[in-house]
Amino acid sequence: MSNNSGDSSIPSQSKPCDGDSNQDSKYALVVEDVHKRYGNFHAVKGVSFRVRKGSCFGVLGPNGAGKTSLLAMMEGLIPITSGKITVLGFDAATQMDRIQPHVGVQLQSNKYFEFLTVAQLLSFYRKFRAAVSGRKSTPSAVWLLERLGLKDKLNFKVDELSGGQKQRLSIAIALLEDPDVIYLDEPTSALDPQSRIYTWEFIEQLKESGDKTIILTTHYMEEAERLCDEIMIMNNGQIIEQGEPSLLAKSLGTDYVIKIDFEKGRFSPDLVSGIRSATSCEWDQGLDVLTVKAGDAATAMSEILDVSKESGAKIINIDIAKNTLEDVFLSHTGMDLRE
């Protein structure tokens, strides 16, 4: 999966879409007050958002947040209870036949003809998609497999592939017809760390082309921070936060979290008054750990060291961390992304 052999740019072609002329051309996807109900269960509760063309848009949320139902409606797999979804200017409820030729979908789990070789499976899907879209000029299947580290598996039967290799194969199949909009549902969930990084690099290449809109769901915060231009966090069927990853982290009001382990029994909670730059201080008497949140780590650390010196409270360990997307997620949902 090296990027050193040959041209690593993404082969693509211009494919204008003739959807609703009133639709803002800056957006590939527009979701307006969308609801999804299964009987009495309200899975998606009136969500609205827009995704800019050429961007990577991340959808995050704990299990049961409504992500799967929302994506299935966007992909045309299940009907919309109420509201409207527009993809490339076309109404997802009534014009899915116009949308499908421009969309590639990689699902979290796929059922393939496992008795076919990888080459045979790709040929089957290419012919099937070409019959729908009518396109002739599309990326080389061999090129896609090379970029995803599967070129040497071309003549292997699908059932001979590992779970991670099947996951990467599903990405290749989603890209066979050079789609304008790509749905990637946890694309690296079954991959080992090295393959995950290679796949991230491949997705970054897709982004560099500037004409691919990527809708990404993931359980990896590092993946979302690295790949996504904008992130939407869902919980209980609603949008609870949305924005650029770096700005979401800053929205917590502090940039740094400093944890100080003191020698047992030597620190008094009264001493926190000397840490004037802190936005908050939390003392855990059981662990003898002080947690300080501050916008300026250097100033806060200087004050902490002064307090330690003046009080004689010996510092055993200091840990300084910058707020991340994980902190944003926890602050809004009260749970880990994998829960």
What does the block give as tokens for 299?
Answer: 């100033």
pLDDT band at 138 (very low <50, low <70, confident <90, very high): low
- Angstrom distance (rounded) from CA 300 to CA 162: 50
pLDDT (0 to 100) of residue 14: 41
Q: pLDDT confidence of 137, banded at 50, 70, 90?
A: low
Segment 102-133, tens digit of pLDDT = 999 987 766 778 888 998 988 888 887 777 66
Is residue 140 exposed (0-12), middle (13-18) or buried (19+ Cβ within 10 Å)?
A: exposed
**9 compared with 183, residue with greater pLDDT:** 183
The pLDDT of 168-192, averaged and rounded, is 88
- Local confidence band at 307 (pLDDT 50, 70, 90 cut-offs): confident
pLDDT surpassing 50 at residue 234: yes
Burial class (CB in 10 A: 0-12, 13-18, 19+), 38: exposed
8 A C-beta contact, residue 60 and residue 224: yes
pLDDT given for residue 249 in this prediction: 66
Q: Extract the tokens encoding 256.
A: 């740094």
Cβ 121 vs Cβ 161: under 8 Å: no
**Predicted local confidence at residue 284, as pLDDT:** 87
Structure tokens that stand for 163 in this block: 């779970």
- The dihedral region occupied by 49, where left means phi > 0, alpha psi between -120 and 50, and beta the remainder, is beta
Distance CA 61, CA 339 (A): 9
What is the mean pLDDT of the segment spanning 203-216? Answer: 91
pLDDT attached to residue 18: 47
Treating both helix axes as pointing N-terminal to C-terminal, what angle do 193-208 and 163-174 enclose, rounded to 10 degrees? 10
Q: What span, in angstroms and rounded, lies between the C-alpha atoms of 274 and 127?
A: 71
Going by C-beta distance under 8 Å and a sequence separation of 6 or more, which residues neighbour residue 117? 154, 155, 156, 157, 158
Which value, in Å, is the radius of gyration of the alpha carbons in the chain?
24
Q: What is the pLDDT of residue 6?
A: 43
Residue 11, pLDDT > 60, answer no
Average pLDDT over residues 77-86: 96
Amino acid at 310: E
- Residue 203: which pLDDT band, with cuts at 50, 70 and 90? very high
Strand partners, 284: 289
Count the Cβ atoms, other than its own, within 10 Å of residue 320: 15
The pairing of strands 41-52 and 27-38 is antiparallel
Q: Among all chains, which residue has been given the structure tokens 């359980």?
A: 219
Dist. CA 48–CA 70, nearest whole Å: 11
Q: What is the mean pLDDT of residues 289-300?
A: 86
Per-residue pLDDT band at 270 (split at 50, 70, 90): confident
CA dihedral 288, 289, 290, 292 (to 10 degrees): 180
The total of other beta-carbon atoms located within 10 Å of residue 29's CB is 21
Round to whole Å and give the CA distance between 169 and 176.
11
The mean predicted confidence, pLDDT, of the chain is 83
Q: Whose structure tokens read 């008094």?
A: 268
What pLDDT was estimated at residue 1?
A: 45
pLDDT of residue 252 exceeding 70: no
pLDDT the model gives residue 8 = 44
**Percent of the chain, pLDDT > 70?**
83
Provide the pairing of β-strand 278-284 with 289-294. Answer: antiparallel
Backbone angles phi, psi at 184, to 5 degrees: -115, 110
